[in-house]
Amino acid sequence: MKMMTDRRISRYFWGVLVWMVALSGWAADSALSADSVVQTESNPASVITATVSSGVQPRPVKIVYFYPTDCKPFENHRERIDRTMRFVQDFYLRGMRESGFGDCTFALERDADSQLVIHYVPGEKPRSGYGRDSAWNVRNEVKKYLAEHENLDIENEVIVLFQTLLAWNDAHTEATELGPYVGWGTATKGTAWVYDDPLLDATLLSSKEPGGYYHGACSIGEFNSHYVGGIAHELGHGFSLPHDCERNEERERGNSLMGSGNHTMGTDLRGEGRGSFLSKASATRLATIRAFDPNFSEEFSMTTPKMEISHLNVRVAEDRSAKILVSGVMHGTPQIKQMVLYHDNESIPSDYDAITWVSPVNNQGEFAFAVDDFWKASQPAGENVWAVGRWQMRLVGCHDGGATSQVKFDYSTAEQGPDLTPFSTP
């Protein structure tokens, strides 16, 4: 799944080299702090409640249920969606904790009795009127209806948009994805287009019973791996996260959520894989947005982000380990406390394969990365040979207020090593 695309699927040292970049900010809604989360148990049905000690309530993620004119909401949808969204909440909670950000996750909109609030939107057309490329058509219908009937403006919200646009044949042996299944987000809003289905339930991730379908017959548990994992992945895009991939050293943890982890969610519960995890790169970006930062500044979120990098030093490590060392000094407005490096193989379409590293930025603005392990091939004699290829390196600064800025470099490697001359040109 992609952000707004179909789911189908010192030798190189310079004195002062400055790049000025400004990208649109990304953020989402609601914030929880480590002392404001109460978790009963680590299971899909656990209850995660949120209060903020300052008394300022976070803006929660909102659930929208969209159904065409020839459909009705599916049976038991409220209970199933509640259990599933609690599971997704807990997945993000564990991921943030594992990356050192404490117990924080996003909030969900609930009523005075702690029941999940669902906003229902009847479609303007039958199922046949919506296609895989209908994301903005569906969203526009939702925007119009909620503005007119509930005085709710989704342009300032993060929403998970459940659609009854997964169609089964009469024998219930094959399912066709009719509508959009994507995610998109900015500094103040986001949308995850996903499906509801009578089989959708995070408590069924462990099931090996037949009856599911995803590009072929599968178990009910595998069905939920794809579609519960899909909800978590597309919501990640709703929180402005890009794709990334697990590094070699991380593979024991499973697959990165924002890579192929949308398809491996819960496989560990069935003994069929290692499951999925939230990468540190994703957690680092989430920690700056309104959904996760208890000190989020609305003022910063409306400030045009800028980043200057000087004294950029990109060189091959002297220990012949097929490793590239990247360091520099940066200044950001608003402040940048963390940098993320994405390394992407340009021969592989899209960015699902982008490996990531995270570096803190100290008080002098210094950062440093050691980029290794994903392009080298260890030879029997113990010599490291560089893989031949074309690559893109992206340096991303995470600003207070949820915005990001980036610089990117395209370069290549031969067996003898990398050509780093592109890094000498701004």
User: What are 370's strand-pairing partners?
Assistant: 325
CATH 3.40.390 intervals, the chain: 34-286
CATH domain 34-286 topology: Collagenase (Catalytic Domain) (3.40.390)
- Determine the Cα–Cα distance for residues 56 and 103; give it in Å rounded to an integer: 18
Tens digit of each residue's pLDDT, the chain (426 residues): 445 544 544 323 333 333 333 333 333 322 222 222 222 233 443 333 332 333 344 579 999 999 999 999 999 999 999 999 999 999 999 999 999 999 999 999 999 999 999 999 999 999 999 999 999 999 999 999 999 999 999 998 999 999 999 999 999 999 999 999 999 997 678 999 999 999 999 999 999 999 999 999 999 999 999 999 999 999 999 999 999 999 888 999 999 999 999 999 999 999 999 999 999 999 999 998 888 887 877 788 788 899 999 999 999 988 767 789 999 999 999 999 999 999 999 988 889 999 999 999 999 999 999 998 644 444 444 456 787 889 999 999 999 889 999 999 999 988 888 999 999 855
| Total residues found in the chain within this entry | 426
Name the residue among 160, 31, 191 with its Cα closest to residue 106: 31
CATH 2.60.40.10 intervals, the chain: 20-24+297-424
Number of CB atoms found within 10 A of residue 412's CB: 14
- The pTM of the full predicted model, rounded to 2 decimals, is 0.86
Do residues 175 and 213 touch, judged by C-beta distance below 8 A?
yes
84 — phi, psi (to 5°)?
Answer: -70, -45
What is 20-24+297-424's CATH number? Answer: 2.60.40.10
> Can you give the pLDDT at residue 232?
98
Tokens of 173: 């042996």
